[in-house]
Amino acid sequence: MQKAHITPGQLNWDDLKHFLEVARSRKATVAAARLGVDYTTVSRRIRALEQALGALLFEKSRGTGFVLTPEGQRLLGFAETFESTLQAACEQVSGAGLSLSGNVRIGSTEGFGSFFVTPQISRFQQRYPDISVDVVAVPHFLSLSKREADIAISLERPTSGPYICSRLCDYRLRLYATPAYLAAHRPINALADLEGHPFCGYVDDLAFSPQLLYLDRVVPRAASRLRSTSVIAQYQAVLQGETLGILPCFLAGPDERLVEVLPEQVEVLRQFWMYYREDLAKLRRITLVAEYLRACAERNHAFLLGEERSMRFD
């Protein structure tokens, strides 16, 4: 495609907006649904942008969808920076003296997102009713580069990327069972007494982080007869009274149907990391939610470590 000589004023923001959605979703149909337009509009916008720039931005295939070319990759970084700058300008200019508004999407691990982030962020919306929040609580990592989330909470610190990252909190996991299970089995007074007991745990080859593969290290030769990729599924399994399970204290601790087993001998300490793209730091709603989550974690330090059974709210 012949290179064009254009000025910034000739670029159309609507074309760039369509480009960003296709780059993130890799599907024109998905981009169209997100933008509230039809497929032909998306295709037309992409063609117009490619013609204006004199560059092919996507390679298309049935298997992988719309894949960015090297030129498309270069444009993506500039387009995302421009998008964030434009959002920040709108927020600061039109929002002067007004309540904050907009959407913030938080991507989190399944258990923490469901049992800690969601209860805490519900109180946040009492203060800021015009900020809508999506909590995406899933048992896998989300991509910030594809804008699957604005703020990520992960078991591991990112090793690369233009991110603002901080250690959100430590949390503890312990061994749990129902009183009925313990009453129906021989007493457990030491680690050696765990041999032969059934455990539920993760599916090793499907665990999204090595930080989750702690069962064999904590309880050598543990008989894991029921496995799941979901910590919430493991929690439900333990509640049935047929198995033991190592669960986060923030999830199992408040549940009076469960009791800790060998709490001084069986425990795992892990961390959560929170991060978001540097360009999103310009948006007050993003930093506000991040600051709120950090304050919630600090307030609940003892709860997350299993030293208290009740979650605290401000």
Is 308 within the bounds of a domain? no
Boundary residue ending a domain (94, 126, 143) = 94
Same domain, 256 and 293: no
Boundary residue ending a domain (53, 70, 94) = 94
Q: Give me the CATH number covering residue 45.
A: 1.10.10.10
Q: State the pLDDT at residue 10.
A: 62
Same domain, 193 and 142: no
Q: Read off the pTM.
A: 0.76
In the chain, the percentage of residues whose pLDDT exceeds 70 is: 93
Q: Is the CB of residue 305 less than 8 Å from the CB of residue 172?
A: yes
Q: Taking 60 as the threshold, does the pLDDT of residue 139 lie above it? A: yes
How close are the terminal C-alpha atoms of the chain, in Å? 58
Q: State the pLDDT at residue 65.
A: 85
99 CA to centre of own chain: 26
* Higher-confidence position of 136 and 95: 136
Same domain, 206 and 154: no
What average pLDDT score do residues 90-96 get?
Answer: 62
Boundary residue ending a domain (67, 94, 121) = 94
Q: What's the domain count of the chain?
A: 3
What average pLDDT score do residues 262-273 get?
Answer: 96
Phi-psi region of 39 (alpha: psi -120 to 50; beta: other; left: phi over 0): alpha
Q: State the pLDDT at residue 61.
A: 79
Mean pLDDT for all residues in the chain: 89
Same domain, 184 and 227: yes
Q: Report the alpha-carbon distance of residue 99 to residue 13 in Å, rounded.
A: 26
* Higher-confidence position of 66 and 303: 303
Is 240 within the bounds of a domain? yes
Looking at the DSSP assignment, which residues form a beta bridge with residue 201? 227
Q: Taking 90 as the threshold, does the pLDDT of residue 85 lie above it? A: no
Same domain, 149 and 275: yes
Q: Taking 90 as the threshold, does the pLDDT of residue 109 lie above it? A: yes
What average pLDDT score do residues 151-177 get?
Answer: 95
Domain with 156, as residue range(s), is: 102-169+271-298
Is 185 within the bounds of a domain? yes
